[in-house]
Structure 1
Amino acid sequence: YYLKLKENFFDSDEMIVLESMPDGYKYSNILLKLYLRSLKYEGRLMFNNRIPFNSQMLAQVTRHSVGDIEKAVQVFKDLSLIEVLDNGAIYMLDIQNFIGKSSTEGDRKRKYRQKIEQEKQGKIECGQTSGQMTDKHPPELELEKEQELERELEKEQELDFGQIVVYYERFFGEVSKENRKRLKQLANRNTISLLFEAMRIANKRENVEVPIAYIWQILTKWQNKGIKTLQEAKKEQEEFNEDFS
């Protein structure tokens, strides 16, 4: 088994935010080791088909302390790098970016997300799909519905993405190809009003070297706090400013 990393892997917003944290380079090392450990089960991090890794086991195989592992896992969850299911299975959410050819990338990612959802619903046991799903939801039909939904979402998002780029350029200058990609990811995960508000806050903040990474941090914090509206975001920011005034 092997892992393919692109040359700009450490320039991604997630890795920039991760390594800027206290002990960030330690977490970066843990993340890479978890990616490699998960390859045996195509991104599903398990000791075997039945037994999930716990903190003590991960500490042993990564040669880090249990405390570091527990902190790292929480950080990875906050940055949407992993998803931990109720049965203890850990899915490395970006693993499909580093496997295989680009021509199969879209199909592979869709199947991987579908597999996670199936296991959440108890439809996968020991790495196999149970027969219940086949009776009511043929895989071909589910995949077709998912593809259709993604196409509709892309159409709706495309209508407003030009506004997002213009807004970003007004504050931070010309958008690079890499930052355009990151903006697209943020637009897919957040409402446009929240994204605009995060840009406005980042613009007011002094000495921000990587605006897109700071914007990502703001939106991740709001997501973790359950903030979904512009009004809630502004209230949270006012409370934050009062605490440091």
Structure 2
Amino acid sequence: MALRSPASAGGIAGAQGPKGDTGATGPAGPTGPKGDTGATGAAGPQGTTGATGAKGDAGPAGAQGPAGATGAQGPKGETGPQGPIGLTGATGATGPAGSNATATPLGTANPKALGTVAPGSSSNAAREDHVHPATGALQFIGNVVVSRTLLISLSSGMQREYVALSGVAPGDRLMFAAIAPCSAGCAPINVYPDTNRVLFEYNTPALGIGAVVNLQIAVYRVQ
């Protein structure tokens, strides 16, 4: 049977009763339409810097730039070492003769013998192969000594060897004289001039190993 409120019966409304318990939540309704975008908010604070990324590949080389202006000249460097001497140039042409050029005549008279020193008065030139007459005077040059003990045997006959003697020249006329007795039956024969030495010839008998050969001579130049 339906209840009737007191008001409907024409009576006075009573005081509101206490709130009843909340009922169970009903199921969610369907999503409503998207609202309008709101205004942009204020910028937030800057975040911390992130880590450096890996190095990228090198880009292609750029075009060459224009040449720069020439710089100021630097100080002068030290002088380098002298280079090697160059090749001798070709001989030039003979120049003209001088106005007073005359050839010195060559002498035709025989050279004079050695004598008192004098400068001479002739205006003629001497030939390089001229020979003065010998005076017979002897000029001592030095002594020649051959002295040794034989390590091999020698047969009898002539021996020849060079011995140093300063002051001797090819073309000298030489003489010698023994200055000591020759040993072992040896005998000097001759000496021949060479540049600062003589070729000494001497005879020996047959000699065995251990024999002593000793010859001593004085050598003179015939002037």
Report the TM-score, using the length of structure 2 for normalisation. 0.16
Q: More strand per residue: 1 or 2?
A: 2
Using CA pairs under 8 Å that are at least 6 residues apart, name the structure with larger relative contact order, 1 or 2: 2
Q: More helix per residue: 1 or 2?
A: 1
Report the TM-score, using the length of structure 1 for normalisation. 0.15
Larger radius of gyration: 2
